[in-house]
């Protein structure tokens, strides 16, 4: 559930961001790309530490007091996964939009379509397979996220216990059979997601 929520939030932000990066040139574009892709190259544990440090300052404390409390809660899991997968979502969606010919959008606009109408009736349908593949892979990435989630949400059983954290806790308790079973579940989900994404991306080349 947390992985699905984090993926949905990431795509809501990544779709307009990726489209803007794909179609427009503006001042600071390189800096925006760097910031959005920063979570890809930095350690998830470091990302979690950055989030915790943020919540220790006045703005972070105000947000947790007046909006949503994140540290050691389900919301913290969603936030940690969201931050971890956002850069991947933007990169994959930008690739999907890059593959849609701009000429088709231009023709649709010359026929009277508004930019918003063209985006939803031309661009998104043509990038459909790439969008679905992006959702699948970012969801799988969120599901397998460990470092940032552990730092922000902790490892409280039945409260902030994600699948990777459950593996960590069972291994810490020398529950080898339980650990192996959960590893098989996580690996199975990951391989299925990769296979589905590859099929969709391969199909999009011929559409």
Whether 150 shows a pLDDT value over 50: the answer reads yes
Taking only the tens place, the pLDDT of each residue in 24-35 is: 888 888 888 888
Question: What is the rounded average pLDDT of the residues 161-171?
Answer: 89
Count Cα atoms within 13 angstroms, Cβ side, for 166. Answer: 19
Distance CA 94, CA 21 (A): 7
Whether 200 shows a pLDDT value over 80: the answer reads no
Q: From residue 22, how far is each of 14, 18, 56 by CA, in Å?
A: 12, 6, 36
Q: Which domains does the chain have, with CATH numbers?
A: 2-206 (1.10.3720.10)
Give the position of tokens 């969603």: 78
% of the chain residues with pLDDT over 70: 97
Cα torsion at 80, 83, 88, 94 (round to 10°)?
150
Question: What is the rounded average pLDDT of the residues 78-84?
Answer: 94
- Indicate the pLDDT class of residue 85, thresholds 50, 70 and 90: very high
Q: Is 179 left (phi over 0), alpha (psi -120 to 50) or beta?
A: alpha
Whether 50 shows a pLDDT value over 60: the answer reads yes
Whether the CB-CB separation of 2 and 162 falls below 8 Å is answered with yes
């Amino acid at each position: 559930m947390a992985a699905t929520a984090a993926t949905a939030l990431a795509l809501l932000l990544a779709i307009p961001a990726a489209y803007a990066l794909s179609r427009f040139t503006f001042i600071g574009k390189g800096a925006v790309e760097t910031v959005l892709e920063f979570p890809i190259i930095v350690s998830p544990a470091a990302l979690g530490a950055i989030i915790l440090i943020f919540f220790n300052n006045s703005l972070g404390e105000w947000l947790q007091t007046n909006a949503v409390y994140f540290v050691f809660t389900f919301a913290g899991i969603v936030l940690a996964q969201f931050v971890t997968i956002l850069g991947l979502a933007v990169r994959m969606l930008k690739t999907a939009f890059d593959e849609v010919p701009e000429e088709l959008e231009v023709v649709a606009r010359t026929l009277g379509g508004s930019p918003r109408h063209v985006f939803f009736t031309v661009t998104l349908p043509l990038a459909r397979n790439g969008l679905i593949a992006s959702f699948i892979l970012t969801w799988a990435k969120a599901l397998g996220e460990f470092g940032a989630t552990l730092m922000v949400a902790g490892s409280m059983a039945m409260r902030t216990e994600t699948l990777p954290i459950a593996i960590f806790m069972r291994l810490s308790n020398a529950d080898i059979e339980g650990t192996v079973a959960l590893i098989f579940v996580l690996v199975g989900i990951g391989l299925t997601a990769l296979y589905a994404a590859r099929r969709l991306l391969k199909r999009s080349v011929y559409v």
